[in-house]
Amino acid sequence: MCVTAVESRPAGSLGAASQGPVHRPFGARVKAFVALTKPRIIELLLITTVPVMFLAQQGVPDLKLVLLTCVGGYLSAGGANALNMYIDRDIDALMDRTSQRPLVTGMVSPPECLAFGITLAVVSTLLFGLTVNWLSAWLSLGALLFYVVVYTMLLKRRTSQNIVWGGIAGCMPVLIGWSAVTDSLSWAPVILFMVIFFWTPPHYWPLSMKVKDDYARVGVPMLPVIASNKVVAKQIVIYSWVMVAVSLLLTPLGYTGWFYTAVALAAGGWWLWEAHALQNRARAEVMGAKLKEMRLFHWSITYVSLLFVAIAVDPFLR
């Protein structure tokens, strides 16, 4: 596979592994394996899974089913993240924000990481299939393979559209949450899939603007690396408007009521305010800390949390 060339340096060369054998106490090893799953990212995935189960049930779903879906989702996403770190260990060693990842520091070896990721993938698929349903199992496995193969191996180092299409993997939890309850799919999870699809680029591009030097150093063509802040901000505004518009489709189609609509309008309105403010600063050629690109990044997490909490609460107010 042809990939963008980066400086030849073994994984871990920026960490303790480059200074000789690494002392690997048991407790630190456990923390390192947990870190391979990227728990903070998985928290966000679960935020988009559980509320959809409430929407599908139009009330409180079976709590055992919720627990099994969350465990299966964690294991599946954790396996995908571990395999992502295995593939990206060369560039992780050269980027400041990833220089303390377990493979870079030497706390976990590449073969251990590979075996760990594959094991989680197999266990999560079987857990879903045997305790939830096989539709959810195949959706989960499809999300894992899409993230590892399509995004990490094929798109990330080749195109500035990497996060746009690679973000499809992060949209799958809404389908999984719905299918776990109904063993089927409908327009509601498809609409929410599209909300997350259009949310992902304007969520991630502000962070990429902040750390674009890291990506440039390793030859990963994130949009802020190859385009000006003005261009990136314009794209953020376009995706933001589409995202907010799509989020409002649930109500006219009869899936949600007044509460969700009110939250979607208020949270979406504030998002658009922040997106346009970022665009105005970019147009004025504001640079450095004054660009305040991370304001939108942090708000994007709050936005999706509010939206999906509203999805869970709405059935009880109709």
Mean pLDDT, contiguous 10-residue spans, the chain (318 residues): 35 43 80 93 86 96 97 96 97 92 95 98 98 98 97 95 94 97 97 97 95 93 95 98 98 96 98 97 91 94 96 94
pLDDT at 254: 95
Whether 186-317 and 32-183 are alike in CATH topology: the answer is no
pLDDT at res. 19 = 46
How far apart are the C-alpha atoms of 90 and 217, rounded to whole Å?
12
pLDDT at 21: 52
How confident is the model at residue 118, as a pLDDT? 98
pLDDT for the residue 22 = 62
- Sorted by where each begins, the domain ranges of the chain are 32-183, 186-317
Residues 186-317, CATH architecture: Up-down Bundle (1.20)
Task: Give CATH for domain 32-183.
Answer: 1.10.357.140
Give the type of residue at 55: L
Q: What is the pTM of this model?
A: 0.90
3-state secondary structure 181-233: HHCCCCHHHHHHHHHHHHHHHHHHHHHHHHCHHHHHHHCCCCHHHHCCHHHHH
